[in-house]
Structure 1
Amino acid sequence: MMQFQGWVERAAGADGVPVFVGLNAPFDWSFINYYFHYLLKSNPFGFAALDIKALYMGATESSWAGTRSSQMAAWLHPKSEGNHEALDDAQYPVELFRLIRAIRPFQQR
């Protein structure tokens, strides 16, 4: 977890704010949060997460039932897929996230 925390801090940079992004982020974040607090007494992501499923809902006006990864894939046409291999399963939601962001570019404020 110390290595993970170091990576998060390096990736965010000195002026950045780490954001936990996940496909069903509330589920994944709860495990990450538990182990950061259990082992290091703090979580570099704080108490928030950005959920890819919710982002997809907003970007496509989908129903919650339409946010299963297979339904997102049918609409977004990612090149990768989740196949229960650790690296692939980590990269797949990143691709979905990028494809969703491309639907409606977000303005920085």
Structure 2
Amino acid sequence: MVKRDIKTLIFVDCEACGKSPSTGKLTEFSAVAYPSRAIFHGVLSGKGLLEEKEVFEKFERWILQVTNGLRPIFVSDNPAFDWQWINDGFWRTIGRNPFGWSARRIGDFYAGLVGDFANSSSWKKLRITPHDHNPVNDAMGNLEAFERLLNGER
């Protein structure tokens, strides 16, 4: 198997109060770059749009730095949840999303590797950093599991 250069993967995890940006608030999120493991941690204390804008501007600068200006690829345990918060935050605060319009789900990658479309959660056993709803730990654990998948573990 030929591996493409995948140095623009950004593993993201979000924590929020509420089920969606229309009914809740993003409280914090983290991103971990692959393979460098550089970490970004955004905390939103609820001080309003100026605080959010500052956090998302810093996040965009960090993304551009860790990807050397190449298009970043959003990767998450559950982009149906995480993506909506990040996409909303970028568009509302700075009017663009450096990730574009798509995201990748680790569970789908795993299901493809094992040839079982319904098996999209067993990869979680490969996390090293415990999943504890601290977005820094959760994003790092997801990256670790993904890296182990790339190295042939199932």
TM-score (norm 2): 0.58
Residue in 2 that maps onto 1:67: 120
Give the Å deviation of 1:94: 0.8
Please give the alpha-carbon distance, in whole angstroms, between the structure 1 residues aligned to 2:124 and 2:76.
Answer: 15
Secondary structure of the equivalent of 2:151?
Answer: helix
Q: Is the aligned partner of 1:2 residue 2:57?
A: yes
Relative contact order higher in (CA < 8 Å, ≥ 6 apart): 2
The gaps in structure 1 that reach 5 residues or longer are 105-109
CA deviation vs aligned residue, 1:55-84 (integer Å, no higher than 9, x gap)? 1111112333x222xx3234xx43222122
Q: Is the aligned partner of 1:38 residue 2:95?
A: no
**Higher share in strand:** 2
The gaps in structure 2 that reach 5 residues or longer are 1-55
Residue in 1 that maps onto 2:4: none
Which moves more between the two structures, 21-30 or 95-104?
95-104
TM-score (norm 1): 0.79
Aligned residue among 72, 83, 105 for 2:132 = 83
Give the Å deviation of 1:9: 0.7
Please give the alpha-carbon distance, in whole angstroms, between the structure 2 residues aligned to 1:58 and 1:27.
Answer: 21
Provide the aligned length of Structure 1 versus Structure 2: 98
Contact 1:59 1:103 in 2 (8 A): no
Contact 2:132 2:138 in 1 (8 A): yes
Could you tell me which amino acid in structure 2 is paired with residue 95 of structure 1?
Answer: E
**Higher share in helix:** 1
Contact 1:25 1:52 in 2 (8 A): no
